């Protein structure tokens, strides 16, 4: 039986952390729903983790998520669900702290890869986003340790400018006319139903991306490069870290939505 592709709520709203959904299939120890806010991984960003809570109150840990070639997103459960859960209503909740950390690193990559390409002609060849630090590989001819401080300053200047992010989709045909939206030569752009999602940092950059981001560059934190490895003459591996910005507290004492 062919299952319908899962509706990906995180594509419409990067800050969708929970939703109601219906179980449409159970396979091995994984469930598929009609819709989800869980990011299934891709572009160097690992999949979300979180909880699925049934109306009975039973909660199931979702340890990992992946999308199959038909666009069905499978949520791997710590305990195999019974096949008769198909049709059940659940509340899905992403591990919010973890997702926000990954989104902060994901967002700074847009800033870094744009500066690398525009100012230094460097293309990204690989990314591994983490919660505590991230690793980014570039083909970066002429990169030297002495450049590190200048690159950090350029990235932090963009973050400090507090630019908003937004996303929209364009047709695959329109995308082919827009080489400026590419930041990598080696990964296929995320084409979903004949469209490509574009993520824009207002007044700075637009690039094809299917990941999750923070809403303003000021939410990223302070950027630094703490290690550089040479992986050949022009292949460089940069390890980067973010320090959280100071927690903002509203007059009511409530924490800012994202911190
Ligand atoms: Zn992105």
Give me ligand 1 centre to Cα 249, in Å. Answer: 27
Q: How far apart are the C-alpha atoms of 110 and 116, rounded to whole Å?
A: 10
Give me ligand 1 centre to Cα 88, in Å. Answer: 33
Question: Of 59-63, 170-174, 175-179, 208-212, which gets the smallest average pLDDT?
Answer: 175-179
Give 188 or 32, the one with higher predicted confidence.
32
Neighbour-count burial of 100, counting CB atoms closer than 10 A to its CB (0-12 exposed, 13-18 middle, 19+ buried):
buried
Q: How confident is the model over 20-46, as a mean pLDDT?
A: 95
Question: Of 44-48, 93-97, 246-250, 253-257, which gets the smallest average pLDDT?
Answer: 253-257
Give me ligand 1 centre to Cα 116, in Å. Answer: 15
Give me ligand 1 centre to Cα 250, in Å. Answer: 28
What dihedral angle (degrees, nearest 10) is formed by the CA atoms of 17, 22, 28, 29? 40
Give me ligand 1 centre to Cα 14, in Å. Answer: 10
Give me ligand 1 centre to Cα 101, in Å. Answer: 13
Give me ligand 1 centre to Cα 159, in Å. Answer: 15
Give me ligand 1 centre to Cα 109, in Å. Answer: 7
Q: How far apart are the C-alpha atoms of 216 and 232, rounded to whole Å?
A: 36
pLDDT over 90 at 118, yes or no: yes
pLDDT band at 14 (very low <50, low <70, confident <90, very high): confident
pLDDT over 70 at 250, yes or no: no
Give 74 or 142, the one with higher predicted confidence.
74
pLDDT band at 144 (very low <50, low <70, confident <90, very high): confident
Going 67 to 16 to 194 to 106, the CA torsion angle's sign is negative
pLDDT over 50 at 111, yes or no: yes
């Amino acid at each position: 039986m062919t299952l319908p592709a899962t509706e990906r709520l995180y594509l419409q709203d990067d800050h969708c952390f929970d939703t109601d959904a219906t179980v449409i299939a159970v396979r091995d120890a994984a469930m598929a729903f009609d819709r989800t806010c869980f990011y299934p991984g891709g572009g160097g960003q690992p999949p979300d983790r979180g909880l699925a809570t049934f109306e009975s109150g039973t909660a199931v840990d979702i340890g990992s998520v992946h999308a199959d070639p038909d666009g069905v997103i499978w949520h791997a459960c710590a305990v195999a669900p019974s096949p008769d859960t198909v049709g059940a209503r659940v509340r899905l909740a992403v591990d919010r702290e973890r997702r926000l950390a990954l989104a902060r690193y994901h967002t700074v990559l847009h800033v870094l890869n744009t500066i690398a390409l525009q100012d230094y002609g460097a293309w990204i060849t690989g990314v591994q986003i983490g919660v505590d630090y991230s690793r980014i590989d570039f083909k970066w001819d002429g990169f030297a340790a002495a450049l590190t401080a200048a690159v950090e300053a350029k990235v932090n200047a963009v973050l400090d400018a507090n630019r908003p992010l937004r996303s929209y989709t364009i047709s695959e045909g329109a995308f082919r006319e827009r080489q400026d939206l590419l930041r990598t030569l080696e990964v296929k752009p995320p084409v979903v139903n004949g469209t490509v999602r574009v993520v824009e940092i207002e007044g700075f950059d637009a690039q094809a991306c299917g990941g999750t981001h923070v809403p303003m560059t000021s939410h990223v934190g302070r950027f630094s490069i703490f290690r550089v490895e040479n992986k050949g003459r022009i292949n460089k591996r940069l390890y980067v870290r973010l320090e959280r910005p100071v927690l903002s507290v509203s007059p009511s004492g409530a924490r800012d939505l994202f911190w």
